[in-house]
Structure 1
Amino acid sequence: MILPSLLARDERATEQMDDPDCDPAMLERTYAQFRLVNAVVADWRATYRHQLRPHLRRDGPTTVLDVGSGGGDLVRALARWAHRDGLDLRLTGIDPDPRAHAWARRQPPVAGVQFRRALSSELVAEGERFDLVVSNHLLHHLTADELQALLADSRRLARTAAVHSDIQRGRLGYALFSVGTWPLFRGSYIREDGLTSIRRSYTADELRPLVPEDWEVTATGRWRLLLTHGTGTP
């Protein structure tokens, strides 16, 4: 395997599943496989325990917004974990892509979870508020202006805290993902688009100067980043 140069972000690389003319069967298999991939590489279970759970109410519901929710696997996972902890979460996943929205809506319903086809800016314009705002693997998709807009929207939408989780670009993560996904995800865009996502992703040192001072960038392990606001001790 020959590794590409990962010294700088490849902002020109595009993911196949973002193409409106991509193969619909492969796209749906990709949505279906996100749950497994994210469970292995995104480590949201730890993020839930350390960044979100301390802010969940014990005496009533907590509202959560997932921006760019895709197939909806994150909001469903958060709902399951909170239920096991005896906590009441009301989760909304938003995505502007009609294909992602339609797929998420077709899945078996989960108590407390709903989906909207919308942008975060539309919810700001509507005056919506949520206790917590999250996203997964969204930051690397954004232009510099879109990143600033997301952070501004997150601050307006979140009463308490915002947590944006993404890949950290690096040779080890690229190599492990390439080898680990090669035999498993044929017939979907998981492997090829995942490698493209790594090439597009930031390092912690690249992201820190791009965000306002009241946002914190944390490298969690060798290939994960958390961009957080307001997640200190409640």
Structure 2
Amino acid sequence: MPRPDVGGPGLLHALATLDHRDVDARELMDDPAADPAELERTFHRFGLVNRIVSRPAAVYEEWVRPRLGTTHRARLLDVGVGGGDLPYRILQLAARDGLRLEIVAIDPDERAVAAASRFATSGFRTRVATTADLVAEGETFDVVWSNHVLHHLGAAELGALLADTERLVAPGGIGVHGDIERSRGAYLGFWAATLPFAWNVLAGSFIRPDGLTSIRRSHTAPELARAIPRGWRVKRGFPSRLELVWGSEIPDE
């Protein structure tokens, strides 16, 4: 039986090298030749991990709900839809509260959009597109949000995403890009928490090895603070979360 972290460094080596971003590490699911069955399992099991790691209810309460109402239909752009479970959960929470929300979820990878399309319903639309495409179309949104996208980006790509976000946020809206914060604690915590499930619930998916790779590729708060343009700020969250925030109505910490 293969090791559950196959393709990555050993635990001790990884922990010893986390002082710097491993920009050369590549996630298995990003490979165009990734096994379709394993990729599908990965998309479908994102929800199990994201409920804990990405905390969609917290995102909804802090960033989305304050901009919703019962008459005006607010618009949320989800950049990098992944498996679609997070934006769909936010849509469910808005419906629970009787608030009107429309979500457009985009990803340049048509495999991700195909997986997320299983959630397609009134108020939830998926597209193979980039933020640059939507800027060119003149789109605007009350909330522009992404989850676990930043660690995929180089410096130029990060700058382009943030510039596009500023153009896509409607007056009074907000842009929030959430990601992991790289640390030994985050790496060891994910390694240990997923180990009991590596040969059962997470078997046949990329979630465990790619999650560890994501942490190695992710930023620290000081690194992001040095990389972002004026008007943006870095906010720390739990567990081992970072959020880049931009907008005219930013809640106090």
TM-score class normalised by the smaller sequence: over 0.9
Letter in 2 for 1:232: I
8 Å Cα contact 1:76/1:110 also seen in 2: no
Specify whether residues 190 and 127 from structure 1 end up closer, same or farther in structure 2 by C-alpha distance, changes over 3 A only: same
Structure 2: gaps spanning 5 or more residues = 1-10
- Other-structure match for 1:156: 167
What does the per-residue CA deviation read over 1:28-87, in whole Å, with 9 as the maximum and x for residues that have no partner? Answer: 000001111111111221121112211223322000100111211111011001011110
- The one of 14, 18, 22 equivalent to 2:26 is 14
1:198 aligns with 2:215: yes
Is it true that 1:39 corresponds to 2:51 in the alignment? yes
Residue pairs, 1:42-191, within 5 angstroms: 42-105=54-117, 107-159=118-170, 160-184=173-197, 185-191=202-208
Q: Which amino acid in the other structure matches residue 178 of structure 2?
A: S
The one-letter code of the counterpart of 2:243 is L
CA drift at 1:108: 4.4
The answer to whether the 8 A contact 1:3-1:175 is kept is no
SS in 2 for 1:2: helix
CA RMSD for the aligned pairs? Answer: 1.5
Could you tell me the TM-score, scaled by structure 1's length? 0.95
The DSSP-based 3-state class of the residue aligned with 2:104 is: strand
Uncovered stretches (5+) of structure 1, i.e. residues with no partner? none
Task: Choose the corresponding residue for 2:42, options 15, 22, 30.
Answer: 30
Matched, 1:2 2:12: yes
Shift of 1:3: 5.1
Task: State whether structure 2 residue 250 is matched by structure 1 residue 232.
Answer: yes
Q: Distance in 1 between matches of 2:195 and 2:233?
A: 34
Shift of 1:183: 2.9
Instruction: Mark the CA change 1:218 to 1:3 in structure 2 (over 3 Å): closer, same or farther.
Output: farther
Q: Distance in 2 between matches of 1:65 and 1:57?
A: 17
Identify if the C-alpha distance between structure 1 residues 108 and 141 changes in structure 2 by more than 3 Å, giving closer, same or farther. Answer: closer
2: CA distance between counterparts of 1:114 and 1:232? 27
Compared with structure 1, are the counterparts of its residues 221 and 108 closer, same or farther at alpha carbon in structure 2 (3 Å cutoff)?
closer
Residue 132 of structure 1, CA deviation: 1.1
CA distance in 1, matches of 2:245, 2:69: 19
Query: 1: distance between equivalents of 2:127 and 2:30?
Result: 19
Q: Distance in 1 between matches of 2:96 and 2:187?
A: 34
Which one-letter code corresponds to 2:48 in the other structure? L
Residues 115 and 108 from structure 1, CA distance in 2 versus in 1: closer, same or farther, beyond 3 angstroms? closer
What is the letter of the counterpart of residue 221 of structure 1?
Answer: F
Aligned length: 233
Q: Taking structure 2 as the reference length, what is the TM-score of the superposition?
A: 0.88
More displaced stretch, 122-131 vs 11-20: 122-131
